[in-house]
Structure formats: structure tokens, C-alpha cells
Amino acid sequence: MEHFSEKDLKKLNSKKGLLSILYSDTINLPKTIRYIDYEKKLKILQTELIRQQACIMDKNMRVIVIFEGRDAAGKGGAIRRITERINPRHYRIVALPKPTEVEQTQWYFQRYIQQFPKAGEIVFFDRSWYNRAVVEPVNGFCSDEEYNLFMNQVNDFERMISESGILLVKIYMSISKKEQAKRFEDIKNNPLKQWKMSKVDEKAQELWDSYTFYKKKMFENTENGGIPFKVIKANRKTDARKEVVEHILESIPYDKNREI
């Protein structure tokens, strides 16, 4: 039998606690307590994000945050938690579709450059130019020559981004094969989420080892003078989201005492 402190019982008896229990498929009181603690911590972190964004706007900073990771790793959910309280006029979320025929004739990085931030703006890339480092070679969407060219150019490309005054933050969200399979099953069985499942996603479990191979090569390439990724272990979504926000707050300088 679970033993709860008086503080925990107050959490369970709160409005959030009762609603969480009511809307859960199964009653899991320790999980409910963790969720209440997560919501409280997230609110504090989101307040800091508002303060940070205000400083970015005041100083005309340009910021790019890119999210990479396995399919169903929680990139979109993390971005939603980051952006749900900040000023929508000063950030953009970019999730580009596959290249058009015209874009296929252009320099690979060109269509991403067109999405770069103006002064005082943050751009969040839900997948980025690193599609060519992992997703494309795994699924046969690029040639070996195109892949090798990308890997030779990407570090210099990011160096130019940084030297031009844009702050670049790179996040990789990592989940286990078992957790990915579990999330895919949830997506398939939920009519509100089924749109998330693509043909590429459907092959992700089968191609797991190939994704791992190219992911390692991507990380190794950043060791040759590139900007490293912050790897977030994302099997537990709430912990991952907190860690993502904390990393952004640590990576982008701002006045922590600024009034908002």
C-alpha cells in the first residue's frame, strides 16, 4: 500500500489533482503527484521564458533552436510547452515539408536560410537541415554524394550562422526502441493523433539500427569543430520537457531580474 505525506494528500485533493485522476484511464496516484509537481515547475520555467523573450526583443537578438530526434520522441510537444505562454508575434515554428521540385535544384541549405529569424525573433525548427544527416540517408531520399557533401559543409554552415550573430541552440531528443513502439501504438489507436503517423514513421522500428548508425555519425561530425547537440533523454515526457526548457534558459543569455 502506498503511503503519502500530508503534502502529497493536499496535492491529490487539489483541483488539478482531482481532474487528473478523473480523466486518467487508470488511477495512478504517484503519477498524479508527479504531474502536479511538473505543472508547478513548468509554470515557473515558462515565466522565465517570457522574461527571456522580452530580453531577446529588447536587444534585437536573433535565435534559432533546432529540434532533432527519433520519430515520436516528443519534439512537437516540447515546442508547444515552450511557446504556449510567450509572445506569438516574436517567434515562429518551422516544420518544412519535403522539398518542391524547384527546391531540389537549389543549394540544400537555401530553403532553411529563408526561414531564419529577424531581429528580436526566435525560430524553432521542428526538424531541420539535419534531415540530410539521418532521415534522408536511412530512407534513401538522398544519394551518397549528397549526404557526404552535407556532412562536409554543415559545420562551416553553422559557423557562418554563429559568426553572423545568430544564436544557434541544437537539441536532440532520445527515446528507446520500446518507448517508440509504445507511442506509435498510442498514435495509431487515437483518432486525434493519427495524422501524426507518416509513411516514414511506419518504417522507423524496422530501420532502428540504421537510424542509430547515422545518428552516431552525425554526433561524431560535430566533434570536428561543429556545435554539439544537447541530448535529452525523453522516455518520460514531463522530465524531458522540463530539461528542454531549462537548457534553453541556460543557453540564451537574459536578465533574470527583469520585470515582466
Q: Which of 27-31, 180-184, 232-236 is predicted with the least confidence, judged by mean pLDDT?
A: 27-31
**Better-scored residue on pLDDT, 45 or 29:** 45
Q: Which residue has the higher pLDDT, 258 or 174?
A: 174
Please compute the mean of the pLDDT values over residues 1-10 and round it to a whole number.
Answer: 62
Q: What number is the average pLDDT over the span 250-256?
A: 97
Read off the pLDDT of residues 154-212 as tens digits, 9 standing for 90 and up: 999 999 999 999 999 999 999 999 999 999 999 999 999 999 999 999 999 999 999 99
Q: Which of 26-35, 142-151, 215-224 has the lowest mean pLDDT?
A: 26-35
pLDDT tens string 97-155: 999 999 999 999 999 999 999 999 999 999 999 999 999 999 999 999 999 999 999 99
Comparing CA positions, the residue from 44, 42, 45, 19 lying closest to residue 32 is 19
Separation of alpha carbons 34 and 70, rounded Å: 25
pLDDT recorded at residue 126: 98
Is residue 79 within 8 Å of residue 232, measured between CB atoms? no
Q: Which residue has the higher pLDDT, 145 or 22?
A: 145
Percent of the chain at pLDDT exceeding 70? 89
Going from the C-alpha of 72 to that of each of 24, 196, 204, 235, the distances in angstroms are 21, 9, 10, 10
Residue 9: predicted pLDDT = 57
Of 174, 201, 210, 208, nearest to 69 by C-alpha is 174
Q: Are strands 62-69 and 166-174 parallel, antiparallel or unpaired?
A: parallel
At 16, which helix (H) or strand (E)? helix 15-23
* Dihedral angle of Cα 237, 241, 242, 243, to the nearest 10 degrees: 100
**Confidence bin at 1 (pLDDT 50/70/90):** very low
Give me the pLDDT at residue 32, please: 75
- Grid coordinates belonging to 243: 530539461
Residue 24 scores a pLDDT above 70: no
Sequential DSSP letters for 35-103:
HHHHHHHHHHHHHHHHHHHHHHHHTT-EEEEEEEESTTSSHHHHHHHHHSSS-GGGEEEE---SPPHHH
Across the range 60-64, mean pLDDT stands at 98
| C-alpha span between 177 and 125 (Å, rounded) | 24
- What pLDDT, on the 0 to 100 scale, is given for residue 28? 65
DSSP per-residue codes, 121-170: EEEEEES-GGGGTTHHHHHT-S-HHHHHHHHHHHHHHHHHHHHTTEEEEE
Domains and CATH numbers, the chain: 60-251 (3.40.50.300)
Q: Provide the percentage of residues in the chain whose pLDDT is more than 90.
A: 83
Q: Is the confidence at residue 22, as pLDDT, over 60?
A: no
pLDDT value, residue 34: 80
Nearest to 151 by CA among 167, 173, 129: 129
Q: What is the pLDDT of residue 35?
A: 83
CA distance 123 to 64: 5
Which grid coordinates belong to 4?
503519502
Average pLDDT, the chain: 92
